[in-house]
Structure 1
Amino acid sequence: MPSRRRTLLKVIILGDSGVGKTSLMNQYVNKKFSNQYKATIGADFLTKEVQFEDRLFTLQIWDTAGQERFQSLGVAFYRGADCCVLVYDVNSMKSFDSLNNWREEFLIQASPSDPENFPFVVLGNKTDVDDGNSRVVSEKKARSWCASKGNIPYFETSAKEGVNVEEAFQCIAKNSLKSGEEEEIYLPDTIDVVSSSQPRSTGCEC
């Protein structure tokens, strides 16, 4: 019986507290949205299997806390990432202005081998709020920032209504594949303790 092999793609979602990181992840993975806001403590992740060109991939999506007091946890979660998603609220200029800090922090903590070409994707979320009348960050401004950082792909999303969420994560998955080292991982039916003589194959340098 052949072992079940998957290629693991690790995605990190960053952004200020309250911009909708958890909601975006839940909408994509579970097709669910909750109006009840609950701040993420530390970090959490969901997985979803995606298929490209007859190959199956496991997308491991890490949702991290936006509060500054949890940023020291970053190193363990950022390492081994294949793509970083930067999220802001189109109704909050402060959350947009924070994107640069989140991007820089990620590059410092994750230490990717090729920081100049590491794949980022930017999501402008909450486009549904007040039918767009509360919006303070224009699409033009956001796209200009993305262009200045190496033409980062940009999507405007509504986690609540599911607008552009699927399309954004398809782009995220494809960019994760481009980040270089694809890693075949063995997913056993039971968890085995890896002996010290065997190399770890998780890709996580936590």
Structure 2
Amino acid sequence: MLETRSAVYKMMKNVAHEERQIKYWPPPFASDMTPYRERDFDGNVRKVCLSKSLVPRISKAIVLGDVAVGKTSLVNRFCHKLFDNNYKATIGVDFEVERFDVLGVPFNLQIWDTAGQERFKCIAASYYRGANIIVIVFDLGSLMSLSHSQQWLAEAERSNVGFYHIFLVGTKRDLLSNKVYEVIEKRAITVAKTINAEYWAVSSRTGDGVPELFARMASLSFNATIIRELQTSATEQITVGSDLVTLKNQKELPEKKKLKCNGCTV
């Protein structure tokens, strides 16, 4: 009889493909086009990864944008190394899960490819919740799609609270001359700064920039996830005068014993 194994156990035993093994910090598209200033994995993150005590982690990325900007082509290029000229509009949402090994720790990236058509917005919006990464996609050849970026981000933010990374991704780079692209890039960078997003320009047809983009997304999200967990589990320390006082999490404090005195409870 075959031994039944959990999905988590299988994921820990398997190893991600070589190109999905992240050992070094992936750089942004350009150093002046990102609000995320980390230059390497956090030191504490590296230490805990070396301990081999971490279980697999997972993050959720939602891909938003106008119809026909290339959202599905972007996801298919990364997940399946495919590009299809015969475009078919996404109905509702499509879902992919891609495995990475980040600093030796199994990491799954859920990628939710959402519909851009107005009639499917209500369906797609129900899947926005719990996003760790928001990817706003626009067509580099369409300034109209770029102008809708803030609207798409606002849609995603209605369903999400807390911290998440934001990416503004221009597609179809291969269709623009360098001269035209330079003009579009200036406008895109302005929008990216306005919505506090990291900017990328990619081509799903050629694959240029696509693996680097997703490696960057995975690394930023993994690093942030582990840091939050370490901060949550760590004890709090405050300085009182010249002394350093450690305050344990309230749930760790022992319950006060009730002392009875002459029939009274203190």
**TM-score normalized by the length of structure 1:** 0.78
Alignment CA distance shift 1:30-1:11 (3 Å): same
Does 2:152 match 1:102? yes
- Trace 1:106-185 onto structure 2 (pairs within 5 A): 106-108=156-158, 110-112=159-161, 114=162, 117-129=163-175, 131=177, 138-150=184-196, 152-178=197-223, 180=225
Overall identity of the aligned pairs, in %: 35
Higher Cα radius of gyration = 2
AA partner of residue 171 (structure 2): N
C-alpha distance in 1 between matches for 2:143 and 2:224: 30
* Structure 1 segments (4+ residues) deviating >6 Å: none
Match of 2:216, SS?
Answer: helix
Amino acid at match of 2:75: M
Question: Paired residue for 2:83, among 13, 16, 33?
Answer: 33
How much has 1:90 moved relative to structure 2? 0.6
The answer to whether the Cα contact below 8 Å between 1:83 and 1:179 also exists between their aligned partners in 2 is no
Asked if structure 1 preserves the Cα contact closer than 8 Å seen for 2:64 and 2:152, the reply is: yes
- Greater RCO structure (CA 8 Å; 6+ sep): 1
- Give the RMSD, CA atoms, in angstroms: 2.3
Q: 1:52 to 1:178 in 2, by over 3 A?
A: closer
In 2, the alpha carbon distance for the partners of 1:18 and 1:46 equals 19
Q: Which moved more, 1:126-135 or 1:157-166?
A: 126-135
C-alpha displacement of 1:51: 1.5
User: Match of 1:128, SS?
Assistant: helix
SS in 2 for 1:40: coil
Cα contact 2:125–2:155 (8 A) shared by 1: no
Q: Match for 2:110: what amino acid?
A: Q
Letter in 1 for 2:100: V
TM-score, L = length of structure 2: 0.61
**Deviation digits for residues 108-149 of structure 1, max 9, x if unmatched?**
1x222x2xx421111110111254677596111111211222
One-letter amino acid of the counterpart of residue 166, structure 1: P
Structure 1 residues 140-182: Cα deviation after superposition (integer angstroms, max 9, x where no partner): 11112112222x2111000011010011111111232255478
